[in-house]
Amino acid sequence: MSATVTPFPLHAARPAQVGFEREELQRILDLYGRMVAAGLWRDYAMDFGKDAASFCGFRRAAERPEARIEKRPALRAKQGMWTLYGEGGQVLKRGHELPGVLAPMERRLMKAVES
């Protein structure tokens, strides 16, 4: 009688792609809906890659995104897995929690509504 030895995995398998959890996507789409209602955004795009997931909000479909929200789990233990990028690609905010990273967009939305 021969025994079969199955190797024990040392590390948990990484997912094939990074995605947003339901609550995260709900929060992002809620912001998108309010930006559309304020007349600031008209289109969006999502990208799910091996290392990161991103959501982009566009003023017009043919332009660069006005804002990009990126989730990069590999940075969870460092500066935080959430990053908000501006239109020129500059980092506007980084953090461990999505609501804190979305705060600059929320403030911009409040200014647009007050005008």
Give pTM, 2 decimals.
0.80
Q: Compute the Cα dihedral for 112, 41, 93, 103 and give only its sign.
A: positive
User: How do residues 55-103 score in pLDDT, each as one tens digit?
Assistant: 999 988 777 899 999 999 998 889 899 999 998 889 999 999 999 999 9
Domain that holds residue 91: 22-114
- Asked whether the predicted pLDDT for residue 54 surpasses 90, the reply is yes
Number of domains in the chain: 1
* Residue 5 belongs to a domain: no
* Residue 92 belongs to a domain: yes
**Residue-wise DSSP of the chain:** --PPPPPPPSSPPPPSS----HHHHHHHHHHHHHHHHTTS--EEEEEE-SS-EEEEEESSTTS--SEEEEE-GGGTTTT-SEEEE-TTS-EEEEESSHHHHHHHHHHHHHHHHH-
